[in-house]
A and B are shown apart, each in its own frame.
Chain A
């Protein structure tokens, strides 16, 4: 993991991305109990102007230059399949901009805060996202005011309430 994070950090030094944040299953793993996940999702704000038809071009060029392997939509960085996801809407962009700086295995990195992670999963709304968002809501210390504000801003309050009520 350490080497993988160092490689991701190098993308900032190389001027490919401005900012990034770990999301998805690994971000959940950071806050709640372990559940199986196979890839490392990295939400990124690109430093270069986004190519609408091929937003991942800078990553593939970088990976090819470094001779990293690809598997489907993943780039294998030190055995870990990494999926780079350019921020695709205002909520995800705001989440990356407000991500937390943390240390994992002595390496500085950025991770979505649990409040934004919940909101993004409520927006994605797949079955596993519903379960994980409820786990995060119940098991993680949250800034409830911040969470309320985010959910109101992106019309997600009802989704969270529905999941909480289903679990009662």
Chain B
């Protein structure tokens, strides 16, 4: 890959990180719930153990 393309990718990665780190805590909580759902789906589909406390938060 050309240096230019690598630099572009790297730039995008930095922008992504800055955006995702700087979103509000409430937005992060919304992301967390989506991540929890994905995590549980993945565990179910791969028959991994689901601990009893692993409930998806019902945040208002």
Contact residue among A32, A37, A38, A72 (Cβ-Cβ distance under 8 Å from B21): A32
Binding site for B on A (CB under 8 A): 1, 29-39, 71-74, 76, 79-81, 104-105, 139-140
Task: Give A105's nearest chain B residue, CB to CB.
Answer: B26
- A34 CB contacts on chain B under 8 angstroms: 20, 28, 31-32, 35
Given contacts A29-B25, A104-B25, whether A81 and B20 have CB atoms under 8 Å apart is no
Secondary structure of the A contact surface, majority rule: loop
B53 near A39 with CB under 8 A, answer: yes
CA distance A105 to B54 in the complex (A): 23
For residues 6 through 23 of chain B, which have their beta carbon under 8 Å from a beta carbon of chain A?
17, 20-21
- A91 CB, min distance to chain B CBs, angstroms: 25
List residues of chain B with CB within 8 A of the CB of A31.
21
| Closest Cβ–Cβ distance, residue B23 to chain A (whole Å) | 9
The verdict on B52 contacting chain A, using a C-beta distance below 8 Å, is yes
Identify which of A33, A73, A81 contacts B55 (C-beta below 8 A): A81
Q: Give the residue name and chain of the B residue nearest to A34 (CB).
A: B31
Instruction: Enumerate the 7 nearest inter-chain pairs by beta-carbon distance, A residue then B residue, closest first.
Output: A34-B31, A36-B35, A79-B58, A33-B20, A81-B53, A36-B39, A71-B53
The chain B residue with its CB closest to the CB of A73 is B53
Most chain-B Cβ atoms within 10 A of its Cβ — which of A35, A38, A104?
Answer: A38
* Complex: A73 Cα to B54 Cα, angstroms: 12
Q: What residue of chain B has the Cβ atom nearest to residue A30's Cβ?
A: B25
**Closest CB-CB distance, A140 to chain B, in whole Å?**
8
| C-alpha gap A76/B52 in the complex (Å) | 12
